[in-house]
Amino acid sequence: MGVDYLLKHLVLNILFRLPVICLIRFRGHTGANGTFHWRTRYHSPEDVIVSFDLCNEVIKTTGLPDPVDSFESIFSLNEYVALPLHVPYHVELWVLLEYGVKESWTKLFTIAYPEVMRPCLPLGFSRNGELFFSDLGGQLLVWNPTAEAIARVQVGGRVPWESLQTVTYRESHIPLKGGNQLEDEQNSGDAIQS
């Protein structure tokens, strides 16, 4: 069986077990702390975060902080689920501290939009705490919380704003099994000849 088949089977297995309507919205999903999260509706008109723990295969739901209408995307921040709240002239960043507890949403900070930047969509954080945004013109922006400054990041070509995203990864020097098939074959051949 191929990796694509197994991944598709796993995703479909998860999706069919979720008691939700409208599973995935635009930028309405993220992974954090071994758990995958969706913003969705759960048998009510109220939007919630549905969290699926990949290790324990447990599903939890958490209500969104008020006012919910301004939350359009979710992303991960230091292994927490983060929500940007868009209001005129600024964005507030909220994080979920405890799954299943709506009151555990905590506002971290407020970022004022410069006049040239409205509207925009927070994408995610860098390792050093800078926040990446995309504006409706497809421009990538970065906010430095220490300097409280926003700068444009030059991206080659024209990128549709809805295509910009951040991807969290952890560098590893441990090779995947079968990662270097030629080297494995050479080593096994050397062992046979010895």
Q: Read out DSSP for 10-52?
A: HHHHHHHH---BS---TT-EEEETTEEEEEEE-SSSSEEEEEE
Specify whether 23 is located in the same domain as 103: yes
Inform me whether the pLDDT recorded for 160 exceeds 70.
Answer: no
At 139, is the secondary structure helix, strand, or coil? Answer: coil
- What span, in angstroms and rounded, lies between the C-alpha atoms of 26 and 33? 21
Q: How confident is the model at residue 101 (pLDDT cuts 50, 70, 90)?
A: very high
| pLDDT value of residue 165 | 67
Residue 170 forms part of a structural domain:
no
Judge whether residue 106 has pLDDT over 90: yes
Asked if the structure places residue 192 within a domain, the reply is no
pLDDT score for 4:
57
Domain identity same for 63 and 85: yes
94/133 same-domain check = no
State yes or no: pLDDT of 162 exceeds 60. Answer: yes
Contact 38, 24 (CB under 8 A): yes
The answer to the question of residue 175 being in a domain is no
82 in a domain, yes or no? yes
**Do 156 and 88 fall into the same domain?**
no
Residue 188 lies in a domain: no
| Interatomic CA distance for residues 194 and 190, integer angstroms | 6
128 and 33 together in one domain: no
| Residue 104: pLDDT over 80 | yes
Given a cut of 70, whether residue 20 has pLDDT beyond it is: no
Q: Which residue has the tokens 């919910």?
A: 68
Q: What is the pLDDT of residues 121-154, one digit of tens each?
A: 777 777 787 888 777 777 788 888 888 788 888 8
Residues 13 and 44 occupy one common structural domain = yes
Q: Tell me, what's the pLDDT at 47? A: 76
Q: Based on the fold, state whether residues 60 and 40 are members of the same structural domain.
A: yes
**Domain match, 77 and 124 both:** no
Residues 149 and 54 placed together within one structural domain of the fold: no
Residue 151: domain span: 113-165
Pair (97, 27) in one structural domain: yes
Same-domain check for residues 12 and 106? yes
pLDDT at 53: 83
User: Which letter, b or e, does each residue of 142-153 get, where b requires 16 or more Cβ atoms within 10 Å of its Cβ?
Assistant: bbeeeeeebeee
Beta strands 131-135 and 120-125 are: antiparallel
Q: Is a pLDDT exceeding 60 seen at residue 118?
A: no
Percentage of the chain surpassing pLDDT 70? Answer: 56
**pTM, whole model, 2 decimals?**
0.61
DSSP letter, residue 179:
T
Q: Is residue 92's pLDDT more than 80?
A: yes
Q: Is the pLDDT of residue 181 over 60?
A: no
Categorize the per-residue pLDDT at 116 as very low, low, confident or very high, splitting at 50, 70 and 90. low
Residues 62 and 104 in one domain: yes
Grade residue 65 by pLDDT with cuts at 50, 70 and 90.
confident
- Would residue 181 count as lying in a domain? no
- Over residues 24-59, the pLDDT tens digits come to 444 555 666 778 777 776 556 677 888 888 788 888
Q: Number of structural domains, the chain?
A: 2
Question: How many C-beta atoms surround the C-beta of residue 40 within 10 A?
Answer: 19
